[in-house]
Chain A
Amino acid sequence: MIEIHNLTKEFGPLRVVDSITFTVKKGEVLGFLGPNGAGKSTTMKMVTGFLSPTAGTARICGHDVEREPMAAKRKLGYLPEGAPAYTDMTPAGYLDFIADVRGLAGDAKAARLAAVVKQVHLEQVLHQPIETLSKGFKRRVGLAQAILHDPEVLILDEPTDGLDPNQKFEVRELIKSMARDKAIVLSTHILEEVEAVCTRAIIIAKGRVLFDGTPESLAAGGQIDRVFREITQGAAGAAMS
């Protein structure tokens, strides 16, 4: 459902994403792991059509993001890094706006809104301006926005960043519960998160793929040691945090 081929991004002389290739099938949860500055967010921005790649292609459900952006974006739910939102709105107003943009209307819209609010537990803050909400609730509003139209492809940039352990657990459970009929990519710099929710892990550093396999094979056979060595030696200065 997600096909990425030789995706490359250069900012001036800096090659931030270097010829990344992978595909994600329905039912897979891909953990995108790497130190800060590895190029995770930049990759996701290209996959979602926010940035144009310097080279390479990204396809969502067969639609090239650059050539057929509207078709690709309809299939896609995206939680950008930091979960930006129109914070002067309430979650109710905000989700209503997103539903309108997503073409939901009438009973179908009401049903989806109710379901999503329940799924991410927003009931108690529904009519409070987003800017007054805690980080955990803000993140959940972002998640609700991303899954509102029940998309086939879900891209989540650090969905649990800044959450407390309980909130992390809840978000991971939510992701797992949706995994069966979606293709999901989430980025993180926490190894444990990959083991907890992902069916597959890709480790990148300095824009290159260092590892692609199951979380189990990553844990076994000293793979982690090898990868860490490569990160610390090959990408001097990029600290794992």
Chain B
Amino acid sequence: MKNTWILAKRELSGYFATPVAYVFLFFYLALMGFMTFYVTGYYERGVADLQPFFALHPWLYLFLIPAISMRLWAEERKSGTIELLMTLPISLGQAVAGKFLAAWLFSGIALLLTFPMWMTVNFLGNPDNGVILAAYVGSFLLAGAYLALGSFLSAVTKNQVIAFVLTFVLGLLLVLSGTPLVLEFARQFLPDVIVDSLRSFSFLTHMNAIGSGVIEARNLAFFGSLIAACLAACVVTLDLKKAA
């Protein structure tokens, strides 16, 4: 536990040691703001809430999160520091958890920096801040699930472009499997049981459920077990590379 935290701390300070983190944060906030106000038709709705903003997250994360996760393990391999990390008295599990945690906290910082949106809606009207808080939690969990997936894929390949594309494609599948379009299409030739389980595996389903203001155990369990499974796969992958 202690090692995980020591590692996460180093990683996180590493993010801010280069301008890349600031460029990313700028890009992230600009994209979130621009898309919310100009693409979702925010003002035309005439409702003071953040629903259009959060509805964008599963889609924007498709690009933003792989940009963070692609370098997680690939970079260590490229610079040779992986050899250092793996020969320090840190277990593989601690190393994987530490690096993931730092990336997750970083995405959390980016998310928190969208607070002007929250201030704006409170200025414009009287939104339900409980719902907004739940949606923030949902978005954070969603980012964690994407990151865990991306962390695993960054351990699979040392090529960062491939890691990005793989994370994007798998993320896209996990989002699309919850869209009405895909579900209706699937319902035409697949039994309901399968369509429903397809739906229950989608990021969108769980994100929407939490975004409606109620954080249910099964939504938490979904994101929690997805993160755990991806991190376990990451550990196994790194362990297999030892014997390669």
Contact = CB atoms under 8 A, between A and B. Distances in A.
The finding on whether chains A and B are genuine partners in a shared complex, rather than unrelated, reads yes
B197 interface: no
A84 B83 contact: yes
Contacts of A49: 86-87
B89 interface: yes
A27 interface: no
Interface in A70-121: 70, 73-74, 76, 78, 80-82, 84-89, 93, 97-98, 100-103
A160 interface: no
B242 A51 contact: yes
B91 interface: yes
Interface residues of A, number: 31
B17 interface: yes
B221 interface: no
A70 B91 contact: yes
Nearest to B243: A52
Secondary structure dominating the interface of B: helix
Contacts of A100: 6
Interface core residue of B17, B81, B83, B91 (most chain A CB under 10 Å) = B83
Interface residues of B, number: 22
Contacts of A69: 91
Secondary structure dominating the interface of A: loop
A50 interface: yes
B89 A101 contact: yes
B84 interface: yes
A48 interface: yes
Nearest to A74: B89
B243 A88 contact: no
A101 B242 contact: no
B87 A84 contact: no
Contact of A50 (B7, B10, B86): B86
Given A48-B87, A70-B91, 20 more contacts: A11-B244, A49-B86, A49-B87, A52-B243, A69-B91, A73-B87, A74-B89, A78-B84, A80-B80, A80-B84, A80-B87, A81-B80, A84-B79, A84-B84, A86-B14, A88-B14, A89-B17, A101-B7, A103-B89, A145-B84
